[in-house]
Amino acid sequence: MAWVWALLLLLSSLCVKQSSSIISLGSSLASATQSIPWRSPSGRFAFGFYSQGGGLSVGVWLDGGGKNDNKVIWTANRDDPPLHANATLTLNEKGLLLSSGVSGENKVVASPNDSAVSVFSASMLDSGNFVLYNKVNHTIWESFEHPTDTILGGQALLTNQELISSSSENDHSSGRFHLRMQLDGNLVLYPLNIDDAATTAYWATGTNGVNLSLRLFLNSTGFLQLINNTDSSIYLEINYRFYQEVSYNDHNENTTTSSNDGIVHSATLDVDGNFQLYTHQFEPSGGFRTSRVLRALKDYCKVVGFCGINSYCTFNDDRAYCACLPGTDFIDPQRNTLGCKRNYSEAHCKGGKDNIPLYNITPLQNIVWTTGIFYSEELMSMSACSQTCLEDCNCEAAQFSGGVCRKQKLPLWYLLRQEGDNDVSSTVFLKMGIRSLEADDGTVPHELKPQIKGKDPTLKILLLTLSLVACSCALLAISGVFIFKFRVLRYKRLLEIGNLGLTGEVTLTSFSYNELKRATNGFKEELGKGSFGAVYKGSLNRGRNLIAVKRLEKLVEEGEREFQAEMRAIGRAHHKNLVRLLGYCAEDSKRVLVYEYMGNGSLADLLFKSRQRPDWDERTRIALDVARGILYLHEECETPIIHCDIKPQNILMDDYWRAKISDFGLAKLLMGDHTRTFTVVRGTRGYMAPEWHKNIPISAKADVYSYGIVLLETVFCRRNLDTTVSNPEEIILSILVYKCLVEKKLEKLVLGEEVDKKSLERMVMVALWCIQDEPALRPSIKTVVMMLEGITDICIPPCPTASSI
């Protein structure tokens, strides 16, 4: 191998004019030897392994030649953890594959869209583009089409593509901000932790409304342009007018007049959310000098979400700082932008005058919200404003200015401290809990804890007893797994499961990784990607039994035995409204689950995407199916399970259009230590109960909240949060529905569809009860089922608030 390299290097040094150095089939790079990367002819760009986060990643970088740090331009599979084992990159007909030492598993780094096309060669070009060619030298894959956080001169951000900032300078996984080239022609910066909306955009070109298909292009002399996709004309120069800071100090005459040869231009969405344009001037002696030319925002506090929850941003001496609100401390003192957590435990809010001994109100001057989404705005006096927040359990803070009192709930986000002279007299009243007596006797009960903490001794004992006593069948069958290791038998059993729909105890099959690889044809057909990992279609028994295979990622480290115990707990949950777990694989660090295959997609597809939306009867049936599935999880199965992520995407439709809940029992695999539930909020925005954002225990009522949102969405076939509607009052479905319920105009919302008015009203009221902020106000899922079935009467619910939206 070494001589090939020597030859290649020799060639590239001899033929300076050559525009590309060809990497031929069979070429490989090994991480262990930190072998010489594949360089572009000029030597400025390199492709290969680089160090990141204590391991190695594969990517493209601008080579500092030892004179200065390399600048990473692109990372392959950026959200995969860095490699710690020895790995090899190999170019074959399928593409560029990464095989890591121990498992010998191949990961795709680059491969053509069309698997029928075979790769012939690859090249690291002088533009910084890494490309794959076919036999006739046509580009069939290029890194330029898959940007991460940077585009280079000559590269475009295509319509509907986005740049996502990195987590930190040393961690190139997806971070907190994104820059979208939107379908509507607008180029916009948003924080990633909240749905994109006009209110959270913090920089934009304002080119929306022209209904043009545009792409962002950085031309090779460093000009950013929006290009008309139809005729490739320049629609807009994104010049200094769009930037708050322009520094031409390093961009002197010399560099602009001398040939452009020594300069590489780049535009990067930086870790801190700013979009910046750089030049990298290569020195004849090696290395390069980086200068910033343009910066979208000068004041980082204008970056929405620069500081995390419970903190505010101050801008001082050209730098932005995050500071904690009173009563909170930094989540991670090393990383102040992550936000702050409360340092007191909260009393159970009682509401009204009863709150007075429980809370203090602290007035803060000069603090404002960068994006004001308040749940209540009323004219009143300053003291009344402070008082109303104190007495309102939903209120966490209120902003008083100009006689208007605006109340804000958790999470407290996007706060900014305005310095000095602007005489906007605005006061924020922050409500702070006085350390409660309940908290003094130790920790607050945490209902989820026994579920989530695998290491809890009582849980272990419980599991042990359960697995010993509960079902001799299971034990019998477990030993069966060891005895009948022959695949044929295994498949036969699966066939029985599939065909007979056995309701009793059926053991889970423990598969080998290779079996599943075969069954899915090498994880070829991806059905979807969930929060736990990708799902692939597969088949067993020569294609007669279809299965869905889920490869789990980002799990909490845990041993094989704990994993098997969790699997058995999930496997014991059998209900017609739950997706059946058939088996699993736990091999080395691989964790794979095998489920029955659901042929008709998810409820989300059915409600929001399908042309023919399900009729009223079908929707009521689905709503009841889902509630019954949750009832089983909460109250009827052996080990009660809190799902933690109920949403239409997790509700699948079987061949008979019966709704079945999937992904139950997985939350605890992800969460591990319960202390992380506060910072690493699980679940999905929009469906998450407000308590996820507060430092209070999560109970089964969190699922009831999510169910309430799903119920509303099922009833009205639209998302709870729909920013595409024209009337701003209609953006949040729950608020709109409440208004119509009170005004007795609910049928207005079903757009002329024939529905049973009584049943519509009943479902709406159930949903509104479910989405109450206060968990205690929400009914149990059992009550929900009874209310939906019409067994229990329902009274008019209080107004819901759009807290977690």
Ligand X SMILES: *[C@@H]1O[C@H](CO)[C@@H](O)[C@H](O)[C@H]1NC(C)=O
Least CB distance to ligand X at residue 362 (A): 10
Q: Which residues of 556-592 are buried (b: 16+ CB within 10 A; e: fewer)?
A: eebeeebbbbbbbbbbbbbbebbbbbbbbbbeeeebb
What backbone phi and psi angles, to 5 degrees, belong to 469?
A: -90, -45
Binding range to ligand X, per CB under 6 A, among 225-233, 581-589, 637-645, 753-761: 225-233
Binding range to ligand X, per CB under 6 A, among 8-16, 54-62, 224-232, 595-603: 224-232
Q: Determine whether 294 is exposed, middle or buried from the number of CB atoms within 10 Å of its CB (0-12, 13-18, 19+).
A: buried
Strands (E), 158-262: 162-168, 171-181, 187-191, 203-204, 214-218, 224-228, 234-237, 245-246
433 binds ligand X (CB under 6 A): no
Least CB distance to ligand X at residue 324 (A): 6
What backbone phi and psi angles, to 5 degrees, belong to 167?
A: -65, -45
136 binds ligand X (CB under 6 A): yes
221 binds ligand X (CB under 6 A): yes
- Structure-token match 């409304």, residue found: 209
**Binding residues with ligand X: total (CB under 6 A):** 30
436 binds ligand X (CB under 6 A): no
Q: Which two tokens stand for residue 11?
A: 């060639």
- Shorter beta-carbon distance to ligand X: residue 9 or 475: 9
**Mask of contacts with ligand X, 295-334, x by CB under 6 A?**
-----------------------------x-xx-x-----
Which of 270, 645, 663, 703 is the catalytic position? 645
- Shorter beta-carbon distance to ligand X: residue 56 or 746: 56
- 550/594 Cα distance (integer angstroms): 6
230 binds ligand X (CB under 6 A): yes
Between residue 173 and residue 212, which ones bind ligand X under the rule CB under 6 A?
211-212
Q: Which residues of 153-185 are buried (b: 16+ CB within 10 A; e: fewer)?
A: bbbbbbbebbbbbbbeeebbbbbbbbbbbbeeb
- Is residue 609 part of an annotated ligand binding site? no
- 599/606 Cα distance (integer angstroms): 12
Between residue 704 and residue 743, which ones bind ligand X under the rule CB under 6 A?
none
443 binds ligand X (CB under 6 A): no
Q: Which of 42, 92, 208, 219 binds ligand X (CB under 6 A)?
A: 219
Active site residue 605: no
Binding range to ligand X, per CB under 6 A, among 133-141, 443-451, 528-536, 584-592: 133-141
* Sign of the Cα pseudo-torsion (611, 617, 623, 624, in order): negative
51 binds ligand X (CB under 6 A): no
Q: Assess contact for 95 and 119: CB atoms under 8 A.
A: yes
Q: Which of 220, 290, 376, 436 binds ligand X (CB under 6 A)?
A: 220
Q: Which of 1, 7, 85, 356 binds ligand X (CB under 6 A)?
A: 85
What backbone phi and psi angles, to 5 degrees, belong to 38?
A: -80, 120
Angle between helices 616-631 and 781-788 (to 10 degrees): 150
Between residue 741 and residue 780, which ones bind ligand X under the rule CB under 6 A?
none
Least CB distance to ligand X at residue 117 (A): 9
Widest pairwise Cα distance in the chain: 87
Binding range to ligand X, per CB under 6 A, among 233-241, 457-465, 543-551, 638-646: 233-241
Q: Which of 38, 235, 523, 738 binds ligand X (CB under 6 A)?
A: 235
The number of beta carbons lying within 10 Å of the beta carbon of residue 497 is 17
- Shorter beta-carbon distance to ligand X: residue 134 or 780: 134
Distances (CA, A) of 400 to 236, 323, 378, 430: 41, 21, 10, 11
223 binds ligand X (CB under 6 A): yes
Q: Which two tokens stand for residue 13?
A: 């040094």
- Shorter beta-carbon distance to ligand X: residue 211 or 334: 211
546 binds ligand X (CB under 6 A): no
Q: Which of 101, 480, 528, 533 binds ligand X (CB under 6 A)?
A: 101
Q: Which of 249, 254, 285, 724 binds ligand X (CB under 6 A)?
A: 254
Q: Which two tokens stand for residue 109?
A: 């780094």
Q: Assess contact for 577 and 625: CB atoms under 8 A.
A: yes
Residues β-bridged to residue 191: 177
Q: Is the bond leading into 411 cis (omega within 30 degrees of zero)?
A: yes
Q: Which of 9, 12, 22, 245 binds ligand X (CB under 6 A)?
A: 22
Binding region: 550
User: Annotated binding site for ATP: which residue ranges?
Assistant: 550
Q: Please identify every residue annotated as catalytic.
A: 645
Q: Interface with ligand X by CB under 6 A: which residues?
A: 22, 32, 85-86, 101, 113, 136-137, 140, 211-212, 219-221, 223, 228, 230-231, 233, 235, 237, 252, 254, 324, 326-327, 329, 343-344, 435
